[in-house]
Amino acid sequence: MADDGRQELYAAMTLAAPDGIVAVDADGCVGACNPAAAALLERPADELIGSVFGFPLDDGESTEVTLVLPNGRNKVVEMTVALARFDGRRLYVATLRDGTRRQQADHVLQAALEHQSVVVAVAAHQLHNPLAALGALVHVLREPPPGLADERRAEVVERIAERTARLQALVRKLLTAARLDGAGQQGVPEPVQVLGFLLDQFAESGGARDGLRLAVPARLVARVDRVGFAEIFGNYLENALAYGRDPVEITAREAGGRIELRVADHGPGVPESFVPHLFERYRRDPATAAATEGTGLGLWIARSLARANGGDAWYEPGRPNGAVFCVSLPKG
């Protein structure tokens, strides 16, 4: 290839390069730049040429620099400098690559690592006590004290079953949280008759307990993933039974073309200062955290699943007292 053709090829490659390329003379002034550099700096090429480059030019060095754009915004770029000669003059060629995406990816990775650490800490903390209790109960059955009565043995077995159920619920929450973090809602929404669904939930959990009041019209049908709906309702009911007082009232109605389910208790309610944090992941009211077991995941899961099904979840203070947790879902 002749020299003229080679020069034209180099020029075409520079113009088409996705990275910004800036030629800077020995006085630190821009002598030439390609379109990608003008786009990165958000200034026309004819305005850049002749202006002071303003960054250190160390041959062979790669560094991050922060560009101050004409509108006052900052942009982080990776700059690599190479020393060249042109017509006997020293020339610095600075290659600029937008580092915003890499910086964003770093932030996402850091957040994921921090979240992973929190998940491990929460899981370890929540699993420790139930597992320790199970170990002690199993030891009683494995090496029973002399004269252990059948009634006492049955009581130990029942407590093992209760602890196992708690562990299963905890693992289910952790798995649901991981699923929501990953692929999101994977269930398929379908028409669900709300009253029948709630009665099925009570039956699966061993029947409705004293202190529960159910007032749901039989005609109400929501469009929702059944598994997700069970998680939402289960978390609301668990919350009411753990922190509220009887009676716990479960009501539903049609409102604005949507189905609204409400779980209300008659406990002390939620402190006003904590209400903005109720549905945040791993957040628990400091006033009750020490007295009750919990992960701080249940309400976050409920809202995430509600929104994944095209609805929403929120809290309202009870009148005159108590807490009301609500979820709205598309009408089936």
Q: Give the confidence band of 121 by pLDDT, cuts at 50, 70, 90.
A: low
Mean pLDDT of the chain: 84
| Same domain? 203 vs 171 | no
Query: Do 252 and 299 belong to one domain?
Result: yes
List Cα–Cα distances, 122 to 119, 127, 128, 296, 301, in angstroms: 5, 8, 10, 9, 15
Q: Are residues 145 and 174 in the same domain?
A: yes
Confidence of residue 8 (pLDDT cuts 50, 70, 90): confident
Q: Same structural domain for residues 129 and 72?
A: no
State the pLDDT confidence band at 126, using cuts at 50, 70 and 90: low
Residues 304 and 231 grouped into a single domain: yes
* pLDDT at residue 1 tops 50: no
Using pLDDT thresholds of 50, 70 and 90, give the confidence band for residue 74: confident
Whether residues 161 and 203 fall in one domain: no
Which CATH number does the domain housing residue 140 bear? 1.10.287
- Strand, coil or helix: 199: helix
Query: Among 72-76, 158-162, 168-172, where is mean pLDDT lowest?
Result: 168-172
Q: Which of 181, 216, 243 is the last residue of a domain?
A: 181
182-193 average pLDDT score: 77
- Structural domains counted in the chain: 3
Most confidently predicted of 141-145, 154-158, 261-265, 285-289: 261-265
Instruction: Identify whether the C-beta of residue 230 lies closer than 8 Å to the C-beta of residue 329.
Output: no
Q: Range of 164's domain?
A: 103-181
Q: Which residues are paired to 193 by β-bridges?
A: 221
Helix (H, G, I), strand (E, B) or coil at 62: strand
Q: 74-88, 114-128, 290-304, 311-325: which has the minimum mean pLDDT? A: 114-128
Q: Are residues 197 and 174 part of one domain?
A: no
What's 301's domain CATH number?
Answer: 3.30.565.10
Query: Is residue 82 predicted with pLDDT exceeding 60?
Result: yes
pLDDT digits (tens, 9 = 90+) for 207-256: 556 788 999 999 999 999 998 999 899 889 988 988 888 899 999 999 98
Inter-residue contact 92 to 86 (CB < 8 Å): no
| 145 and 198 belong to one structural domain | no
CB 119 within 8 A of CB 96: no
Question: Does 163 have pLDDT greater than 50?
Answer: yes
Inform me whether the pLDDT recorded for 147 exceeds 90.
Answer: no
**Mean pLDDT over residues 254-269, rounded?**
94
265 and 320 share a domain? yes
Q: Are residues 326 and 199 in the same domain?
A: yes
Average pLDDT on 27-52 reads 91
Q: How many CA atoms lie within 13 A of 108 on its CB side?
A: 7
Are 173 and 199 contained in the same domain? no
What stretches of 93-149 show up as alpha helix (H) in DSSP?
100-142
| pLDDT value of position 184 | 54
Average pLDDT over residues 175-201: 81
- Per DSSP, the chain holds a count of helices (H) and strands (E) of 9, 12
Say if residue 244 is in the same domain as residue 135.
no
136, 161, 181 - which closes a domain:
181
Domain end point (choices 81, 98, 115): 98
Q: Torsion over CA of 219, 222, 227 and 228, rounded to 10 degrees?
A: -140
Assigned token pair, 119: 């998940």
**230 vs 179 pLDDT, higher one:** 230
pLDDT value, residue 6: 65
